[in-house]
Amino acid sequence: MIAARLGTSADVVESMENRRPGFGERLLAGLTTVVPETAQPAALPVEDLAGAYRREVERVVKEAATAGNAIVLGRLANAILGPRRDHVRVFVYAPLAWRIAYVSASFGCGESAARSEIARIDEARRAYAREQYRMAWDDMHQYDLAIDTACYGIDGAAEVIACAVRSAQSA
């Protein structure tokens, strides 16, 4: 949906996911807010795409929440929407050893590659939350429910979340 709205491919949008902006991108973004005359014209595609991506994600998340009966996976929807009585903000986690085994089995890669990819994605998520929303991605105060998939499994975690949503709807 975001790719279509931005007039680009799903691959380009997907490359924006779980990616930490490079030093140059962060430096330029910082300079344009402190010294406006250093702002570059609209010919900076990566920076333009990053800003457009964030705006479009926020728009899509808000539209989904307004429409109701939606699941928003990731995208820091908890930061975009904030606390509301009409939705449940869930943080799904698992111990590193469980995550490594799951990623390794799911993608057919070795433990070392799985560990590296998990670390890369977690750091990108932390950085994005910190830089874009001034919050800690894994701050449990930002969520209504935290669930360990190692305890419940994927299907069990989904059942617990569904139960929490039904409970919130009836409250």
Query: How many Cβ atoms are within 10 Å of 94's Cβ, its own excluded?
Result: 18
User: 129-156: buried (b, 16+ CB within 10 Å) or exposed (e) per residue?
Assistant: beebeeeebeeeebbebebebeebeeee
- Out of 70, 99, 114, a domain closes at 70
* Residues 151 and 88 occupy one common structural domain: yes
* Residues 118 and 165 occupy one common structural domain: yes
* Residues 130 and 171 occupy one common structural domain: yes
Q: Could you list the pLDDT tens digit for every one of the 171 residues in the chain? A: 887 888 888 887 777 766 655 555 545 555 545 544 444 444 435 557 778 888 998 999 999 989 988 888 888 899 999 888 888 999 999 999 999 999 999 999 999 999 999 999 999 889 989 988 999 999 999 999 999 999 999 999 999 999 999 998 887
* Residues 48 and 125 occupy one common structural domain: no
* Residues 101 and 120 occupy one common structural domain: yes
Burial of residue 121, with CB atoms counted within 10 A of its CB: 0-12 exposed, 13-18 middle, 19 or more buried: middle
Query: How many Cβ atoms are within 10 Å of 162's Cβ, its own excluded?
Result: 12
* Residues 97 and 77 occupy one common structural domain: yes
- Out of 70, 90, 105, a domain closes at 70
Number of domains in the chain: 2
* Residues 91 and 34 occupy one common structural domain: no
Kindly report the CATH number assigned to the domain that includes residue 107.
Answer: 3.40.50.300
* Residues 25 and 37 occupy one common structural domain: yes
Q: Answer whether 0.75 is exceeded by the pTM.
A: no
* Residues 85 and 57 occupy one common structural domain: no
For residue 61 the two structure tokens come to: 């998340």
* Residues 115 and 59 occupy one common structural domain: no
* Residues 60 and 88 occupy one common structural domain: no
- Out of 14, 47, 70, a domain closes at 70
Domain hosting 106: range is 71-171
* Residues 66 and 8 occupy one common structural domain: yes
